[in-house]
Amino acid sequence: MRLLFLAVLRPHTGNAVTAQRVRAHLEAAGHVCVLKDAFDFESPSEIANLILAEDCEAALALHLYRGGRLLQGHRIPFGVIFGGTDVNEDANQAEKNTVMGRVLEEARFAVAFTESMKEMAQAQWPHAKGKIYVQSQGIATTPNAAFNWNTFLQRSEINQSADNLHIFLLICGLRQVKDPLYLVDAFSAWHQEEPNVYLVIVGPEVDPVFTREVKAKVKRAAGVRLIGEMPQEDLHAVVKNCFAVVNSSVSEGMSAAILEAMDLEVPVLARNIPGNAAVVKHEVTGLLFSNPQEFVHLAKRLVSDPALEKEIVVNGREYVRMYHSWQVERDTYQQLIRKLEGSTED
C-alpha cells in the first residue's frame, strides 16, 4: 500500500525517532510510506490535496491531536499511535479532548506505548476500548565507534581528566514539559562539594523563549553544561561514555532516552512520574526520585556503590531485551497495518 504517515518531525525528538523506526518497519513489509511533518499542515483540506497528489490508500498518524485530527473525513482508512502528550496533556483541554475522541471513532486501530497509557486513553474515550493495542517502543542503539569522548568534554568546557569524572546526562528538547532546570540548583550545590560531578543537558532548542531562560540559568550554574542537539549515533556514544542518564520530565509517554541508556548498559535516574515508573523499577532497573534533594542523595549513592550500579545495569539491559525488542515491534506494526487494507471495517 501507499501510506501517508503524519508525525511531528522536529529533528532528534522522541516522536521523530519513533516515526523513522515505524516507517522502516512498514517499508520492510513492502509498503510505500510518505512521511510528512504534521506541523507543515494547517487544515484537513491541505491533507486532502496531499492524499490525491501522493495517491495514498491509507494513513497513519503519530500523536492523536497533532497528526490524527488532520486525517479525519478523507474516507481513507487510518490508524493512530499515541505520542504521550496527547493523552497526558492535551486530553485535559475540553476542545482537544472532543477532537481526539472523534479521531478515535474513525481510526481502525490505536497504539499505546504502555498499559497505563492504554488505560488512560480508555478512561477518556470509552468508545475506543476494543481498538487500542499496547506495543512498547522497540530499541536499537548504534553508537558511533569513531566518537571522541575527550573532544566532547572539551566542547562541554569540562577540563578534567576523563578517568575521575562522573558525567550525568540529561537528554531532552528544551521545552517546559521536559523541565530541564528541575535539578540545576541542587546539582550545582553538589558540584561545589564534589567538583568532579557534572550535569550535561543535551538536546534541540524546541521552545525559543524557554531556551533563553535555560541558557541564562545554566550560564550561572556551576557544574552544569548545555550542548545543542547531536546526531543519534554521536548521542548514543555520549550515553555509552557518561556515568548515568537522567530524566526530569513533568510528563512522558515512554522515554526512548531511558531505554537506550539501559540498552547501552548505563544506569538511569528518572523522575517518579507514571511514564517513567512504567519502565524504571526503583533499585531494580534504575532509580526514581521525587524531588531534587532525593536525586542528589540517590546519585551520591550510585557513585559510591559500584555493586548497585552493576546490578541496575544488568537488570536494565535484560529488561530492554525482554520488553522492548525491535523485532517484536516490527512484527506488530506489520500486522496492524493490514487492518487498513480494504474498505470495510476489519
- The Cα–Cα gap between 81 and 135 comes to 10
pLDDT tens for each residue of the chain, 346 residues long = 999 999 988 766 778 889 999 999 999 999 999 999 999 998 889 999 999 999 999 999 999 999 999 999 999 999 999 988 888 888 999 999 999 999 999 999 999 998 989 999 999 999 999 999 999 999 989 999 999 999 999 999 998 877 889 999 999 999 999 999 999 999 999 999 999 999 999 999 989 999 999 999 999 999 999 999 899 899 999 999 999 999 999 988 788 899 999 999 999 999 999 889 989 999 999 999 999 999 999 999 999 999 999 999 999 999 999 999 999 999 999 999 999 997 544 4
Superfamily, domain 147-322: Glycogen Phosphorylase B; (3.40.50.2000)
Burial class (CB in 10 A: 0-12, 13-18, 19+), 199: buried
Q: What is the pLDDT of residue 346?
A: 40
Residues 270 and 255: beta-carbon distance below 8 Å? yes
- The Cα–Cα gap between 30 and 287 comes to 41
Q: What is the pLDDT of residue 343?
A: 59
Biggest CA–CA distance in the chain, Å, is 66
Cell of 183: 535539578
Query: What is the number of other CB atoms lying within 10 angstroms of the CB of residue 126?
Result: 9
pTM: 0.80
The domain locations on the chain are: 1-137+324-337, 147-322
Tell which CATH architecture fits domain 1-137+324-337: 3-Layer(aba) Sandwich (3.40)
Q: Provide the β-strand partners of residue 55.
A: none
What are the E-state strand segments in the chain? Answer: 2-7, 32-37, 58-62, 78-81, 109-112, 132-134, 166-171, 197-202, 224-227, 244-247, 268-271, 287-289
User: How many CA atoms lie less than 13 Å away from 112 in the CB half-sphere?
Assistant: 23
